Structure 1
Amino acid sequence: MVTTPLAGPTDRPAPGRRRPVPRRRPSARARRRSAPLTLLTGLVLVYTLLPLVWLVINATKTQDGLFRSRGLGLDRDFALFDNIARTFTYSDGAYTRWLLNTLLYVVVGAGGATLLAALAGYGLAKFDFPGRRAVFAVVLGAVAVPGTALAVPTFLMFSRLGLTNTPWAIIVPSLVSPFGLYLMWTFARDAVPAEMLESARVDGAGELRTFFSVALPLLAPGTVTVLLFNVVATWNNYFLPLIMLKDPDWYPLTLGLDAWNKQAATAGGEAVFNLVITGSLLTIIPLIAVFLLLQRYWQSGLAAGSVKE
């Protein structure tokens, strides 16, 4: 007769608890599968950072040093700080004016477009009204139309209104963001529970107060995403200012740096390619700063657990 020892009190699992399942280590074959993905990621990283590295290296060169050295090679004269100083003082401080103009277009245009997209997306997602499907169809159609296709009709309309060669010719078109509206609509549909809105209304809050106090904090990840898209689009906008503006005093950075780049081909024009490269480097620094500052708001599920099922 074979007897088996009874399990002691320490060997028995507690009621309602499962024994921990040992984790399996990934096999060598599974680890090898990630090698092509790692190689592809590395190639994409090099492809992305190579222009930035080229920009940083060549911003340290003088005008003569750009032609004296190779593209990714350093020159014997380190002129980064001198180039930065000349960039802000060249042509009576034109770069500073262009920078302030770009900030104006971004703050008013991109900020206003984000606010309008949040309001419209929230309204489409949480209110039922006649013509809602038609509005949604128009928004989807506007997303499919490229901005360059609307540039000439926009110019003709603003020309008749007498708004060309003014900041409004850049700000007003920037307020319209069909993609941002669509993104906020899809985000607000799931991120803002209807129960929370009803609770705010029962407590006596109006629609605007409900939006800004309850809905807008929950829409923060989507709002930041739309804001970044609008900031980048407005900051890098080139074609619309090209056809709308003639006065260099209202140029954004993109158009101003292009004018510096082209002046070498004009009769008696001075070649300032070192200032164009340095100005381009300074142009992308605010975009990097904005991305780093707003990155922590890229979170989802802020409303998780706020509604009891």
Structure 2
Amino acid sequence: MMAIRIPRKRVRNRSYIVDLMLFLILAGMGAFMAMPLVFVISNAFKPLDEIFLFPPKFFVRYPTLDNFVQLYHLMSSFWVPYTRYIFNTVFIAVVGTAGHVILASMAAYPLAKRNFKGRNALFTIVVLSLMFSGHVTAIPNYMTMSWLGLLNSYWAVIIPALGSSLGLFLMKQFMEQMVPDTLLEAARIDGCSEFRIFWRIVMPIVKPAWLTLIIFSFQGLWGSGGTGKIYIYSEQLKTIDYALDQILAGGIVRTGPSMAASLLMISVPITIFIISQSNVIQTMSTSGMKD
């Protein structure tokens, strides 16, 4: 006679009141963290009199699109088309991010999964390089780009970004934790080459790492107008960040367009972050492998 299995009732570990309190706490923290972004969005739609209103109002009362219209007319008055600035920014950000992710991953693989002399010394140098900010390495980078003859070109901004040690450190640490050595040995026994192991096995497993690296790298290169002014002198090669700085230099009357420009500048990195964040969370929960 077949026994009928009665499902046991799941016992809750905490009460509904505790769940409600946790939800309210997390919702409050999320709202607090979102306040700067909401403030930027609100300021972009404020008329000029509301922007200078004292005491300032957090939310816009009479929203308007005049700031965006004025920004469009100001950028259209440049002798270099504003689409050129946008193209320069997108090209530098996309090429620099893709190159950095590929080079950092390829350099991290032997450091994480191959034994050779000097491996620990090389990784120690990488860790020590994280201590130096971009301001410290600005002069050496400028001298290097000058010696290579790459000043006043896209590559003067892209090449220093390719050699950033943060990506190498992140990928190396993630490969050590997420990629089991037994899996690589099994692939070598099956006849896979190192190049195929890297692209078909290692890179899919460490997808959370290079998605996170895409966020950091793209965000840094998208706002590279400050460092780009050091290497790039031609107006036709400058980025949108530099063009918006010229608008801000117009004084108080351009405060409205500057608010609209701030919203447009942060919208692209935030969009990239939102898209990549969902993939990072999903991949980290499903693709982890350990010995």
Matched, 1:286 2:273: no
Matched, 1:173 2:157: no
**1:23 equivalent among 5, 8, 12:** 12
Alignment of structure 1 residues 38-187 onto 2, 5 Å: 38=25, 42=28, 45-46=31-32, 48-61=33-46, 66-67=51-52, 72=58, 73-75=60-62, 78-79=65-66, 82-83=69-70, 85-86=72-73, 89-92=76-79, 94-187=81-174
2: distance between equivalents of 1:31 and 1:110?
Answer: 41
Q: CA deviation at 1:151?
A: 0.7
Does the C-alpha gap of structure 1 residues 20 and 274 become closer, same or farther in structure 2, counting only changes over 3 Å?
Answer: closer
In the other structure, the counterpart of 1:219 is 206
1: distance between equivalents of 2:79 and 2:39?
Answer: 28
Does the C-alpha gap of structure 1 residues 255 and 80 become closer, same or farther in structure 2, counting only changes over 3 Å?
Answer: closer
Alignment of structure 1 residues 191-270 onto 2, 5 Å: 191-264=178-251
Q: 2:184 touches 2:197 (CA, 8 Å); kept in 1?
A: yes
1: distance between equivalents of 2:63 and 2:175?
Answer: 56
Give the partner amino acid of 1:190: Q
Give the partner amino acid of 1:203: D
In the other structure, the counterpart of 2:278 is 296
2: distance between equivalents of 1:301 and 1:189?
Answer: 17
* TM-score normalised by length of structure 1: 0.78
- Structure 1, unaligned runs of 5 or more: 1-9, 266-270
Question: RMSD of the TM alignment (CA)?
Answer: 3.3
- Structure 2, unaligned runs of 5 or more: none
Q: 2:47 touches 2:63 (CA, 8 Å); kept in 1?
A: no
Larger Rg: 1
Secondary structure at the residue paired with 1:144? coil
Q: 1:218 touches 1:302 (CA, 8 Å); kept in 2?
A: no
Secondary structure at the residue paired with 1:23? coil
Q: Which moved more, 1:130-139 or 1:199-208?
A: 199-208
Does the C-alpha gap of structure 1 residues 65 and 45 become closer, same or farther in structure 2, counting only changes over 3 Å?
Answer: closer
Q: Which moved more, 1:83-92 or 1:65-74?
A: 65-74
2: distance between equivalents of 1:86 and 1:102?
Answer: 20
Give the length in aligned residue pairs.
Answer: 286
1: distance between equivalents of 2:80 and 2:47?
Answer: 19
